[in-house]
Structure 1
């Protein structure tokens, strides 16, 4: 990195940036994609025939899920490509982008459902509860089967998690539609249909926002949750031969892979060639960081640089008049 480097080490299992892409998870998503697409068509027709917003909204939800699942499948195919000279970390961030798109699509759909429900509440329309109930029950069965298939995959896969959130939202939509249909049959209250649509939308918002927030953390290269930078630096100074540690940066490469860089200075007489591997091993054991780049600087240089940086920080933020 610079001419002061005494030692520099990339450390990780097999020193590979490749992250395994589960073909089993891709197959699960493909099965659910086919089921979801087929049912979205049935539900759209059922919603139009019965006049039910709960079914129409859920059909839109299912259609957006189909698009999101297709995007996830494409992401799996792209993520499986090996790294090249231009993209040395490979294509795994494509999966994070797909998960972000899933979350955003779901949030947009929730807004549409809320607006449509508001419109319906102000001007109620007639609803055929019988056909609505039949279509909603079929939807419930389809979504339960889809959720069971996806839940057997790994929870650390953001694409699979995104797909499961979508299906669970659809499952809630089917339950809401069934409840609305039964309620309308018993009471004749047509406002139950848009009311329950809004309830389902609210339940989905939290999960969708969580998916968006997690994806943005990865894309903004934020420090992984649960990792405290200063504590990790202090921990590294406990490695035999390390005098100081600083300039620690850590970020998430993909769902289950953390990358980090750190500078250290050696104690007098320490084996500078052995330090990088020892520091990397410490960070891997304590913080599950699987790819660490360690730079060894001359004794004393790190502390001086830190003091200079602190002085600049104080000058920038402490002397405004």
Structure 2
């Protein structure tokens, strides 16, 4: 005996709005990418090239995010009963791995320039970095209104945020070179950009991994769920509870609930299922829950193994 609830319509509508924002960010990022590549070539700045390379990563990430968001709207079917929502999580994971690669490249190249400095035109570097910063701020303003509970959107937001910080570092490095002639400031700024990228990439990999491994959602207190379900009138036991995340903002739950025979006879299965569904929706925001409701007389037939909660 079971029941399930879904909020797929609202979820899909929100993702459609976010796709429009991603298109705007892609247009901004693509334009500034070209400008910064030209700037890196004209000034000889590794920090600008690093920012341009990260911009290219951003543009790729946004393209992946757009594709994944579109794929995630495809309807469910017999071969994919939950639909393709996990495409968004895979996209976030790809973004994070690419970021790690960019981080390694920047670090290696910057160390080489610390050993053998290359002449950099600080004045031009500042000008191009300012353009990059303004573009990143515009992209952040667009993404700030998006649903950042989505790992997909969060990945894009973090990349643009890191880019904005990278542009600030490039401005500072350019000013130092312009005023003092200390060319190693360019390599130092590049290393700082790499350091900014690393922890965000690892955090995104961790969060995407939790979803793909179907770990219990980090924001869900399983003990509290058991307690609330046990407090529903007529419930005598709650076991075999499993909780996981389908995609960002879509937690799922399945659980066996044992109720008294009297409760089933007096209130009926439908009323009990409604109460259980309302319980997890109201207290934990879970609207995709499946309950197996069993009469108390069936409890002795249950195999309550060590892996059951």
Same fold (TM over 0.5): yes
Question: Once the 2 structures are TM-superposed, how far is the Cα of residue 38 of structure 1 from its aligned partner?
Answer: 2.1
Q: Name the counterpart of 1:283.
A: 280
Q: Name the counterpart of 1:180.
A: 173
Residue 293 of structure 1 aligns to a residue in which SS? strand
Residue 141 of structure 2 aligns to a residue in which SS? helix
Q: Distance in 2 between matches of 1:171 and 1:304?
A: 60
Instruction: Call closer, same or farther: CA 1:91–1:17 in 2, change over 3 Å.
Output: farther
Question: Once the 2 structures are TM-superposed, how far is the Cα of residue 298 of structure 1 from its aligned partner?
Answer: 4.1
Which of 26, 29, 40 is residue 33 of structure 1 equivalent to? 26
1:31-53 CA-to-partner distances (Å, cap 9, x unmatched) read 11122122112212221221111
Instruction: Call closer, same or farther: CA 1:216–1:133 in 2, change over 3 Å.
Output: same
Residue 73 of structure 1 aligns to a residue in which SS? helix
Which of 63, 68, 92 is residue 85 of structure 2 equivalent to? 92
Q: Name the counterpart of 2:237.
A: 244
Q: Distance in 1 between matches of 2:301 and 2:219?
A: 29
Question: Once the 2 structures are TM-superposed, how far is the Cα of residue 18 of structure 1 from its aligned partner?
Answer: 8.0
Structure 1: segments with no counterpart, 5+ residues: 1-7, 314-321
Q: Distance in 1 between matches of 2:301 and 2:179?
A: 78
Instruction: Call closer, same or farther: CA 1:270–1:127 in 2, change over 3 Å.
Output: same
Residue 162 of structure 1 aligns to a residue in which SS? helix
- Say if 1:117 and 1:198, in contact at 8 Å, map to a contact too: yes
How many residues align? The count is 303
Q: Distance in 2 between matches of 1:227 and 1:147?
A: 29
Question: Once the 2 structures are TM-superposed, how far is the Cα of residue 215 of structure 1 from its aligned partner?
Answer: 1.3
Q: Name the counterpart of 2:217.
A: 224
Question: Once the 2 structures are TM-superposed, how far is the Cα of residue 13 of structure 1 from its aligned partner?
Answer: 4.7
Instruction: Call closer, same or farther: CA 1:24–1:32 in 2, change over 3 Å.
Output: same
Question: What TM-score do you get using the length of structure 2 for normalisation?
Answer: 0.91
Residue 289 of structure 2 aligns to a residue in which SS? strand
Q: Distance in 2 between matches of 1:94 and 1:159?
A: 9
Structure 2: segments with no counterpart, 5+ residues: none
Question: Once the 2 structures are TM-superposed, how far is the Cα of residue 158 of structure 1 from its aligned partner?
Answer: 2.3
CA RMSD of aligned residues (A): 2.1
- Say if 1:18 and 1:89, in contact at 8 Å, map to a contact too: no
Instruction: Call closer, same or farther: CA 1:69–1:144 in 2, change over 3 Å.
Output: same
Q: Distance in 1 between matches of 2:11 and 2:133?
A: 35
1:226-264 CA-to-partner distances (Å, cap 9, x unmatched) read 323233223211111111110000111121111110001
Q: Distance in 1 between matches of 2:184 and 2:207?
A: 36
Which of 130, 137, 141 is residue 148 of structure 1 equivalent to? 141
Question: Once the 2 structures are TM-superposed, how far is the Cα of residue 302 of structure 1 from its aligned partner?
Answer: 4.4
Question: What TM-score do you get using the length of structure 1 for normalisation?
Answer: 0.88
Q: Name the counterpart of 1:19.
A: 11
Q: Distance in 2 between matches of 1:84 and 1:17?
A: 16
Q: Which runs of 4+ in 1 moved over 3 A?
A: 16-19, 300-307
Q: Name the counterpart of 2:269.
A: 273
